[in-house]
Amino acid sequence: MRSKRIWARLASVEGASVVDVSSEEEGDALEVVVGVRIYRQDESRCGICCTRCPGYDAGHGLRRWRSLDLGVVRVSIEAAAPRVFCVEHGVTTAHVPWARHDSGFTRAFEDQVAWLAVHTDRTTVSALSRIAWRTVGRIISRVSDEGTGRSDRFAKLKRIGIDEISYRSGQKYITIVVDHDSGRLVWARPGRDEATVHAFFDELGEERTAQLELVSADAAIWISNVVKQRCPRARPCMDPFHVVAWATKALDQVRRALWNEMRQAGKKMLAKSLKGMRWAILKNPENLTEHQQTKLSELERTNRRLYRAYLLKEKLRAIFQEHPDFGPMLIDDWIVMARRSRIAPFVKLADTVLANRQAIINALDAELSNARTESANTKIRLLTRLAFGFHSAHALISLAMLRLGGICPSLPGRA
Ligand SMILES: [Zn+2]
């Protein structure tokens, strides 16, 4: 192999030949600059659509793209970056085969950053790549856009879940669509209103919407209205995850009300023990620590009311683990029990469960697993924390698509 071809491989140059290699020193840091000339067949193409177009001008002269490091040494590719005139896109910087449009990094560099963002934490990505987290956000947006454009996410979609995720401390929302069969995230967009749900069905198209057998959601009117209108033949289901979340919320309301009562009555010790009880009663029993288990048995003796509320939550959760044939009977029993409990948040919840009875039974019949819908929801919620420094919903959605949409690129050179 001749040295120019070796350099082309080392610097991840594609579609161009190396014309010279130089190095620059900045303090202690060394940077290798690989000068290249694009192959004739790749010349003068629109940066956006890659169509061959007439040249416009020389742009800003020579440009550099950062590539993967060689050991501890930084590497850049340098080439002319003329502008062309595309009939569709107007004046654009000409396409280069080694980088995505409008990027100062090579494809190989960006793919590695995206892979790292999917597989490791924020500090590691930034430190290893020597770029700011916001830059990571812009890179993964480009990689994700390309990935979603290339793959057919909507093929064979039959059973979907529509949900909302809040971020920025509940100030902003995105709407997500999950494929229940593959467990993948297939669509996400900022907003939580009817227009956003319509936008999903617009993108899905009529033919594929007609193939949907089941749509699950929480009880949100803005989702169900649009679902009824756009795919009336799909069975509406209540995500088990949300039903359990309602019960957990009701239980926490009971606990807080009791805590306040005791504080006002001056029973400080009892109030304190209730506060420490929070996780013991909200968590699933199989996940309790030994200490929390002790707390729970203590509760059975010391606070019957809260313990009854706890049992109501657990009974509702257990319905989703029973055989679907028992569903209607178990739900009706639960409604009666909750009403008789005279615990206000659960009496109210009984009405909500009754109002959504058929959708809950549909979910049981379809054997929609609580674990799966919950895990998609939880995973994205975790991402919202990771995405905090991004300053754009687009970057958050890109990260979610890369992690949960199955479009993460493989590491460069290891296809
Ligand atoms: Zn174009």
CA of 62 from ligand 1 middle (Å) equals 22
Q: Give the pLDDT confidence score for residue 102 in this predicted structure.
A: 92
- 3-state secondary structure labels for all residues of 149-167: HHCCCCCCCCEEEEEEEEE
Domain extent for 79? 1-103
pLDDT recorded at residue 2: 80
Q: Is the pLDDT of residue 62 over 90?
A: yes
Domain membership of residue 415 (yes or no) is: no
Q: Is the pLDDT of residue 271 over 80?
A: no
pLDDT band at 229 (very low <50, low <70, confident <90, very high): very high
Out of 57, 87, 103, a domain closes at: 103
Using the mean position of ligand 1's atoms as its centre, give its distance from the Cα of residue 140 in Å. Answer: 22
CA of 49 to the centre of ligand 1 (A): 4
Residue 76 lies in a domain: yes
Chain segment 337-369, per-residue pLDDT in tens: 999 999 999 999 999 999 999 999 998 888 776
Cα 19 to ligand 1 centre (Å): 28
Instruction: Give pairs for 38-45: CB < 8 Å, separation 24+.
Output: 38/79, 38/80, 38/96, 38/97, 39/15, 39/97, 42/15, 42/16, 42/95, 42/96, 42/97, 43/94, 44/82, 44/84, 44/94, 45/84, 45/94, 45/95
Supply the pLDDT for residue 82.
Answer: 95
Tell me, yes or no, whether 93 and 115 share the same domain.
no
What separation in Å is there between the alpha carbon of 93 and the centre of ligand 1?
Answer: 10
Same domain, 384 and 398: yes
403 falls within a domain? yes
- Domain identity same for 233 and 376: yes
Q: Given this model, what pLDDT does residue 166 score? A: 83
**182-218 pLDDT per residue, tens:** 888 999 999 999 999 999 999 999 999 999 999 988 8
Of the two residues 27 and 207, the one the predictor is more confident about is 207
* CB-CB contact of 215 with 229 (8 Å): no
202 and 251 share one domain = no
Global pTM?
Answer: 0.83
Phi then psi for residue 299, to 5 deg, are -60, -40
- CATH number, domain at 127? 3.30.420.10
- 81 φ/ψ angles, rounded to the nearest 5 degrees: -130, 70
Number of structural domains the chain divides into = 3
Tell me, yes or no, whether 48 lies in a domain: yes
**Is 177 a domain residue?**
yes
How many A from CA of 87 to the centre of ligand 1? 7
CA angle 396–47–136, rounded 5-degree value: 25
The CA 45 to ligand 1 mean position distance, Å, reads 8
Poorest-pLDDT segment among 59-68, 313-322, 380-389: 380-389
- Shared domain for 401 and 254, answered yes or no, is no
Chosen domain end from 365, 382, 400: 365
Last residue of a domain, one of 73, 103, 133: 103
CA of 94 to the centre of ligand 1 (A): 9
Q: Which residue shows structure tokens 């257990």? A: 318
Are 47 and 77 within one domain? yes
The reply to whether 322 and 375 lie within a common domain is no
Side chain identity at residue 380, one-letter code: I
Q: How far is the CA of 102 from the centre of ligand 1 (A)?
A: 13
Reduced to 3 states (helix: H, G, I; strand: E, B; else coil), residue 74 is strand
The reply to whether 297 falls in a domain is yes
Same domain, 323 and 226: no
**pLDDT tops 90 at residue 384:** no
Let me know whether 179 and 35 are in one domain: no
Task: Render the burial of 79-103: b for 16+ CB within 10 Å, e for the rest.
Answer: bbbbbbebeeeeebbbbbebbbbeb
Task: Look over the chain and give the mean of its residue pLDDT values, rounded to a whole number.
Answer: 89
User: What spacing in Å lies between the alpha carbon of 38 and ligand 1's midpoint?
Assistant: 19
Instruction: Categorise residue 71: left if φ over 0, alpha if ψ from -120 to 50, beta otherwise.
Output: left
143 CA distance to ligand 1 middle (Å): 19
pLDDT at 276 (0 to 100): 72
Cα 50 to ligand 1 centroid, rounded to whole Å: 6
In this predicted structure, the answer to whether residue 395 has a pLDDT above a threshold of 60 is: yes
Same domain, 332 and 314: yes
Both 154 and 75 in a single domain?
Answer: no
Do 38 and 136 fall into the same domain?
no
CA of 53 to the centre of ligand 1 (A): 8
